[in-house]
Structure 1
Amino acid sequence: MKADSTIKQTGQQRPYQEVGTLLRNLIAQQQYAVGDRLPPEREIAERLNVSRTVVREALIMLEIEGLVDVRRGAGIFVTDMPAEPSDAAPAAVTSDSAAGPFELLQARQLLESNIAEFAAQQATRDDIIKMRRALQIEEQELVSDDHESGDMQFHLAIAEATHNSMLVDLFRQSWQWRENNPMWTQLHSHLKDTHYRQQWLTDHQQILAALIKKDAKAAKQAMWQHLENVKNRLLEFSDVDDINFDGYLFTSWPLNHLNS
């Protein structure tokens, strides 16, 4: 794999799009053929001096294009040839919702942990009742293996408990970006079971317990940890070379900082 040692962000593309464009062009230039195995994620990341989650997002982009197949435990294989080298990102990921899934999750973690902190100070009895109902829906959906509407309703109820319409709008927008993001959908396609939803329910119960006590610090920490757990679960399924990979998009805010 011949490439510049460092990806420099141009401002026109996100980092994962630049990496994806480079990999697509390498395939188009026939350095790789259909059926060939690409280098491991770790090797690509080291050669391009980018994080492995950026590489993973680039591979998701190429999966959406139908150019590669990411097989957990086996590797990354070329499945089709692009028409010709190009510097453009595919149309599927050039919309306003083109942020990578881990970038979206990072934004949610920063936003919703602070929303939970404020909600703990503002929540009314009716707000708590609404959160409890959302958890009941989540429990029912977990048993029936149905949709995950309770998840969204719980997070929305917390935002609404701030009684700040701008925070509610920000939450709704971030969730809508997630729902409309093809990168997020493609990443979730690698989740082969729904066992992770039990952990999300447990996380939600801990968040609710802190909100009921009006413990702002605990609510913030519980929400941060919940979305940290989501990130770790998705990263667990994001690597195809090392089942013990536990890399991060960014250095997580140590939870003990919240207790100081």
Structure 2
Amino acid sequence: MPIQALEPQRLYRQIAEQLRSLITGGEFGPGERLPAERDLAKQLAVSRPSVREALIALEVEGWVEVRVGSGVYVLDRTKTNGHAKVPASEWGPLELIRARRVIEGEIASLAAQHAKRKHISAMKAAIASMKEDAARNVAPLEGDRAFHTAIASACDNVVLLETVERFWDARHGPLFERLGDWFESVPSWRIAIAEHEQVLAAISAHDAEGARSAMQNHMDKSHARFSASWRRANSS
């Protein structure tokens, strides 16, 4: 057999694979609780967000069950059917947010310098759409996507626009959707909408530094919401 090139594997997948090996090897049997997230992070010498992504991947694939307020428990694979599979190409949601902080922070700064009236109007309409959906207890994803793409459009650079669109398309993967099931709620969306309004205010004032700071703050807060204690999941 000819030697084949190796592909770099995402960190959360490496963590998930190691935990799967421990489960199949009998280290953790069905019904047993895995070590706490912070303990796994320490033992594996990785960040807690990377462990969080790995646990979500294992949950999606039917290896574990997250019990809020109790912990993460190993499932009996012989009693479950139709296991989902996380695509090898899927980005880790928390890693994605950190990347967005870097790139969309600069995009917001550029937008503050170049945005025209039509772009500002599109951002305002997107926020209005988000508020309408949140009032109906619907996750305002369409308005959220429209807001971030309107900012990218103001930069008049198709590469930046398509980059932001790809970031948003990644939200439809099973990892991000499951993480959203746990940690997104109407109250959290209302907080996020207020953060969007701060970004809009800075762009409207053509405050490049303020826009960058507001967008980075939004991404930091988003990351914190998804990294919260499991005890706070679905608490609202």
TM interval, shorter chain, is 0.7 to 0.9
Which amino acid in 2 is paired with 1:18?
Q
Matched, 1:66 2:62: yes
Residues 97-131 of structure 1 show CA distances to partners (whole Å, capped at 9, x for unaligned) of x2111111111111111100000000011111111
- The TM-score normalised by the length of structure 1 is 0.80
Matched, 1:26 2:22: yes
1:144 Cα deviation from its structure 2 partner? 1.4
In 1, distance between residues paired with 2:217 and 2:67? Answer: 29
* Residue in 1 that maps onto 2:37: 41
1:193 Cα deviation from its structure 2 partner? 3.0
Which amino acid in 2 is paired with 1:152?
R
* Residue in 2 that maps onto 1:221: 213
Which segments of 5 or more consecutive residues in structure 1 lack a partner in the other structure? 1-9, 83-89, 244-260
* Residue in 2 that maps onto 1:248: none
Residues 218-252 of structure 1 show CA distances to partners (whole Å, capped at 9, x for unaligned) of 0000011011111111111xx44x76xxxxxxxxx
* Residue in 2 that maps onto 1:195: 187
In 1, distance between residues paired with 2:48 and 2:127? Answer: 34
Which segments of 5 or more consecutive residues in structure 2 lack a partner in the other structure? 1-5, 79-83
The secondary structure found in structure 2 opposite 1:93 is coil
In 2, distance between residues paired with 1:12 and 1:132? Answer: 41
In 2, distance between residues paired with 1:216 and 1:25? Answer: 49
* Residue in 2 that maps onto 1:176: 169
* Residue in 1 that maps onto 2:81: none
The root-mean-square deviation of aligned C-alpha atoms, in Å, is 1.8
In 1, distance between residues paired with 2:71 and 2:184? Answer: 17
In 2, distance between residues paired with 1:136 and 1:188? Answer: 22
The secondary structure found in structure 1 opposite 2:94 is helix
Q: In 2, are the aligned partners of 1:113 and 1:221 still within 8 Å (CA)?
A: yes
1:184 Cα deviation from its structure 2 partner? 0.7
* Residue in 1 that maps onto 2:102: 110
User: Runs of at least 4 residues of structure 1 off by over 4 A?
Assistant: none
The secondary structure found in structure 1 opposite 2:97 is helix
The secondary structure found in structure 2 opposite 1:69 is strand
Q: In 1, are the aligned partners of 2:183 and 2:225 still within 8 Å (CA)?
A: no
Structure 1 vs Structure 2: percent identity of aligned residues? 35
Taking the TM superposition and a 5 Å limit, the aligned residue runs for 1:106-145 are 106-145=98-137
In 2, distance between residues paired with 1:125 and 1:230? Answer: 28
Which amino acid in 2 is paired with 1:115?
I
1:199 Cα deviation from its structure 2 partner? 0.8
* Count of aligned pairs: 221
The secondary structure found in structure 2 opposite 1:151 is helix
C-alpha distance 71-192 of structure 1, shift in aligned 2 (>3 A): farther
Matched, 1:56 2:60: no
C-alpha distance 155-70 of structure 1, shift in aligned 2 (>3 A): same
Which amino acid in 1 is paired with 2:170?
W
The secondary structure found in structure 2 opposite 1:73 is coil
Q: In 1, are the aligned partners of 2:138 and 2:186 still within 8 Å (CA)?
A: no
* Residue in 1 that maps onto 2:3: none
Higher helix share: 2
Taking the TM superposition and a 5 Å limit, the aligned residue runs for 1:66-105 are 66-81=62-77, 91-94=85-88, 96=89, 98-105=90-97
Which amino acid in 1 is paired with 2:147?
F
Q: In 2, are the aligned partners of 1:68 and 1:78 still within 8 Å (CA)?
A: yes
In 1, distance between residues paired with 2:18 and 2:192? Answer: 36
